Chains A and B, each alone.
Chain A
Amino acid sequence: MRIIEPERITHAVATMCVHACRVLPADVRTALERALAEETHPAGRAILSQLVDNYRLAEEQGLPLCQDTGLAVFFVEMGADVHVPGGIRAAIEAGVRQGYDEGLLRKSACHPLTRCNTGDNTPAIIHLEHVPGDGLRIAFMAKGGGSENMSRVTMLAPAQGWEGVRRFVVERVAEAGPNPCPPVVVGVGIGGTFELAARLAKQALLRTLDDTHPDPTIAALEAELLHDINALGIGPMGLGGRTTALGVKIALHPCHIASLPVAVNIQCHSARHEEVRL
């Protein structure tokens, strides 16, 4: 049994929350810069240029990239031989509290009905998975509300197949239009159950933009969706152009013979995520 002190996790999480909200990941920067080089629509170009200026300024000044520093979402892979005294969830929550306070990040968590702010951006949304071994991997995503609001789950009939999935995903991005801060990243969960499809869609957003799905068939479907989404012409901030999405990431899971669950989780261009291994 390997013991990991909770203070170590708390410190790592706090550091990660602050850094992720200030420094855009390298793959997202590259994607934005490439989009700027390739975008021909003047209004779309102007927006992309501001986004590049924004991430440079945020890093240089230590400011959050966006005022919506999100709900703190975690995907945790915890080795079965790891023990965290007091529990992994408590250690992560303490890191969120510390990071959002010290990093001057916005606390956006509130009671769903009274709308009363919890004051410290907890509870975090923690997806915990036990894996063999004695490692601990914590992936963090600062998930903004604007893009999250444009996300959807549906239960298609199996007969609708890939064409049904394709139409649902592209139509969702079309309907979302300028609202989720395009250019977006589109996470697609296909299969599983109602709730697992949504989780898969979110988890898919943790992949880097420059990776290729290991299954060539799925990689081709991702390319097809990206092509169709960009054909919509919504463009940066909905002002027009070829850059509506920077990437599409699909995750699959076997499902019931009666079902074809599909989830679309939209991520804004400020695709802030980071991970730490302890």
Chain B
Amino acid sequence: MAEYHLHTPLNEETARMLRAGDLVLLSGTIYTARDAAHKRLMELLHRGEPLPFPLEGAVLYYVGPTPAPPGRPIGSAGPTTSYRMDAYAPQLYALGVRATIGKGRRNQAVRDALAHYGGVYFGATGGAGALLSRCITNAQVIAFEDLGPEAVRQLEVHEFPVLVINDSVGGELYVQPDRAAARIG
């Protein structure tokens, strides 16, 4: 398990180099999108209209932050559960998204997309929103402002800590529950 300091955008070679369990300190520009924003992004794609940010090499962060206090770029900003975006993720990886950040398991279609297109799924610590917000140096709403907490934001991050949960060679960091030990096997 290695430690990397990476800068966005990420290229395919970098994504394919990462392995489940690696710690990545991410710097640069990332984009937020969660449930409602993903639906809108898909509608734009369906109509053949441009998206609000470049997909090539992009890192998407599944987050809906709290409002920014005075003098700070953003409020609390930890990850939301990722499986709800599984329906959209393979298409976005196909279009150049290189990484997503969230928490919790992804389905087989997403894991296949990581292998096929050369992508990675990062986990950030759920419920550590205050702590993680310290790594966000700037935040601007760039699309779907009417969605409030679900609007798409462009974030500048500095050494934002994430773990590689799923890599491009089928590796996964989450442990399988020991059902036998818990007497439900």
Q: Which residues of A contact B (CB under 8 A)?
A: 43, 47, 50-51, 53-55, 57-58, 61-69, 104-108, 115, 117, 119, 145-146, 149, 166-167, 170-171, 174, 177-181, 228-229, 231-235, 237-240, 268-270
| A to B CB contacts below 8 Å, 12 in the list | A51-B127, A63-B75, A67-B129, A68-B80, A106-B67, A117-B150, A179-B104, A231-B178, A232-B181, A233-B181, A238-B104, A239-B174
Query: Given A47-B125, A179-B103, A239-B173, A105 and B131 touching (CB < 8 A)?
Result: no
- In angstroms, how far is the closest chain B Cβ from the Cβ of A67? 4
Q: Which residues of A contact B126 (CB under 8 A)?
A: 66, 146, 181, 237, 268
Say which residue of B105, B127, B130, B184 sits within 8 Å of A167 (CB atoms).
B184
Asked if A66 and B125 sit within 8 Å, CB to CB, the answer is: no
B117 within 8 A of partner (CB): no
Question: CA separation between A239 and B174, bound complex, in Å?
Answer: 5
Question: CA separation between A14 and B52, bound complex, in Å?
Answer: 37
Asked if A233 and B80 sit within 8 Å, CB to CB, the answer is: no
B85-105 interface mask toward A, CB cutoff 8 Å, 1 = contact, 0 = none? 000000000000000000111
Q: Which residues of B contact A234 (CB under 8 A)?
A: 175, 177
B64 within 8 A of partner (CB): yes
Q: Which residues of A contact B179 (CB under 8 A)?
A: 171, 174, 232
Question: CA separation between A64 and B83, bound complex, in Å?
Answer: 24
Query: Given A107-B148, A117-B147, A231-B182, A64 and B104 touching (CB < 8 A)?
Result: no
Asked if B148 and A228 sit within 8 Å, CB to CB, the answer is: no
Query: Given A64-B76, A146-B126, A181 and B103 touching (CB < 8 A)?
Result: yes
Say which residue of A65, A228, A237 sits within 8 Å of B182 (CB atoms).
A228
